[in-house]
Amino acid sequence: MRWFYSEKHELHNPDRELRAGTPTKGFEVARRARIIAAALSNDPDFKLDTLRNYGRELIDRVHSPAMVDWLEEVWRECRPFSDFNEVVPDVFRHSGFDEAGSVSREPKNRPMARLGYYSFDSMTPIVEGTYEASRSAVDVALSALEHTIATGEVSYGLCRPPGHHASTAMIGGYCFFNNAAIAGAEMARRLHGPVAIIDVDYHHGNGTQSIFYGRDDVFYVSLHGAPDRAFPYFLGHRDEDGLGRGASWNHNVELDEGCSDREYLELLARALDVVGQKEVVGAVISLGVDTYENDPISDLGLTRDAYYPMGRLLAELGLPTVVVQEGGYDQIDLGINVRSFLRGIGGLEPAPETRG
């Protein structure tokens, strides 16, 4: 299997995040990508391929150009207001500002207010290299897509920062540009038909859902911790199925605490039956392995044994498929679980450490 990676992800290197009002070590760290890269580099069935550089055009088709401009300048604008390497918002735009038909406006002359206008949490710190790292993550996803379109083979983009919480004009959840959404929109355009984005991260991809909620060119399917207990809380309910042209083009599966391998695989199989009814022509997989039982910020019960059959189930779709990395924060088994999934979706034999 061909995979794609950029060492520029190292430029996004915050020392801390603000969680529950307390500065603390973050979970989304550069070592995550290094662990996965090492696992794939040591497996002869995976070949690191050449990364292409893409411009902004495909980003601007999914994200607000004004937000992209802002993200390029935000660290420089806000750095004078922070005593640390990172900048985080201290005020947020809330939906209440837009009640009674009024529309809140971007505060162009107040850098920290602009930071809160485009952010939805305090756990997504921005450092000097965040923009460049985020641009490189998009290049990783699009390079993988290019290979899949050219060959029909499954490919993998080791994207960092992740992307599925970023919406058209909002960052958060460790995400800045929505790598899966950018790849999915371009895949639909290039293949001249609707595609599926299948999100198996523990956390609901609120950004991906929001981007495509009124569209019928991308079918968004997500299996995730129920929003009454799991970040990002405010979206991801099972009755959210799309709007207007996008009606029936969104499908959420809420997972119970402690969900087992068997339960998860049964729910995934049912979700893929729904995908099969849409006659999609390609698929993007938002791969998060924070569904793992030892992950520090999730509460499911999946073991190492879940990831290979999960990949095999997705392979049965028989579609041109791109896998992009989202979450996964247990650094002990992170590389093992990602490699197991990729061997499954790539039609390879299980790795020795997961062979029953």
How far is it, in rounded angstroms, from Cα 75 to Cα 79?
5
Q: Are 163 and 200 in contact (CB under 8 A)?
A: no
Q: Is 94 a catalytic residue?
A: no
From the number of C-beta atoms within 10 Å of its C-beta (0-12, 13-18, 19+), residue 315 rates as middle
CA atoms of 254 and 258, how far apart (whole Å): 12
Over the range 322-335, which residues count as b (16 or more CB within 10 Å of their CB) and which as e?
Answer: bbbbbbbbbeebbb
Structure tokens that stand for 294 in this block? 């030892």
* Long-range contacts of the stretch 101-104 (C-beta < 8 A, 24+): none
Q: Are the C-beta atoms of 183 and 177 separated by less than 8 Å?
A: no
What backbone phi and psi angles, to 5 degrees, belong to 321?
-135, 135
CB 337 within 8 A of CB 307: yes
The H or E element that residue 22 is part of is strand 22-24
> Catalytic pick from 9, 12, 147, 165?
165
Measure the CA–CA gap between 327 and 325, rounded to whole angstroms.
Answer: 7
Q: Would you name the residues annotated as active-site residues?
A: 165
